[in-house]
Amino acid sequence: MDEIPMHNEANTQQSHWLRRGLLLSAAFAATGALVAVPAHAEPTLPGFGSGSSQPAVDQPAQAPFAPPNINIADGETVGVAQPIIITFKEPVEDRAAAERAIKVTSSTNAPGHFYWTGTKQVRWKPTEFWPANTDVTVVAGGTSSSFHIGDAFVAYVDDNTKTISVTVNGEVVKEMPTSLGKPGYETPNGTYIVGERLEQMTMDSSTYGVPVTDPEGYKLEVEYATRLSNSGIFLHAAPWSVGQQGYSNASHGCLNVSTENAKWFLENSRRGDAVVVTNTQGGTLSAGDGLGDWN
């Protein structure tokens, strides 16, 4: 896969979410904390259940589990592609009973379903992207979270044109040339979910088995890196490939853009926004990636 960080530098603070009208770059401050971000194993998706999201809140059934963890904080705003992830303290034997004890409600109707990634984690997402500007409440065995879905920020990446078109609520607000994965390192197609955003990080090929001394090895500092997959695909600043961006592919799978465009994307995207990649020769992003739920 592509560049997976060995160390992440700088603590990214909340950017100004400028979602309506013209999106302008926000001032972005950071501190010098050093955080480790390891590669993530790919969980399996052993089965699918059923679920619903209705405007009316009903009392969930008796929970056969202790209060679990919900991945979206109470009061948080996330993007339209963000799944709800419920992690249990102990393995769940009766999945159907667990699903009956979880209630997902939304201010705008958004039917969806459960799917399990192991005995201790179930996820729920709507059948299609969440409706923009929707309020959602999750109640699960003593744990609850009420959060907000923001504007529909969706970036479309076309390998035929080597262009990223960013839309907000269906309107194109930004276009930027890009360079994707070169032959042998093709970027997978599919719908990615925006994860962490890092002002600076170290990308090291040895973290996925390619020594730095190898002809394809590298260890370099990059700026404005937005994670798109747990397997190591980022949209990040790549000033060394600006001449190829919009024309040819030169990365190890990441979406290379100019420093200015990478900064804009990091400051104007949020966790849970969607990035849709098409027309590559790289197959499809795994649904078990952790950020590949829509594939």
Task: Please confirm, yes or no, whether 254 is among the known catalytic residues.
Answer: yes
Place of tokens 């160390």: 7
Q: How far apart are CA 293 and CA 295, in angstroms?
A: 6
Angle at 25 between CA 19 and CA 31, to 5 degrees: 110
C-alpha 7: how far from its chain's center? 19
Q: Among 113, 148, 252, 254, which one carries the catalytic annotation?
A: 254
Task: Please confirm, yes or no, whether 236 is among the known catalytic residues.
Answer: yes
Element (H, E) at 237: strand 234-237
Instruction: Judge contact between 275 and 195, C-beta under 8 A.
Output: no
Q: Among 7, 40, 148, 236, which one carries the catalytic annotation?
A: 236
Single-letter code of the amino acid located at 84: I
Instruction: Judge contact between 160 and 189, C-beta under 8 A.
Output: no
Q: Cα–Cα distances in Å, from 295 out to 87, 113, 212, 262, 289?
A: 21, 14, 32, 25, 10
Q: Which residues belong to the active site?
A: 236, 254
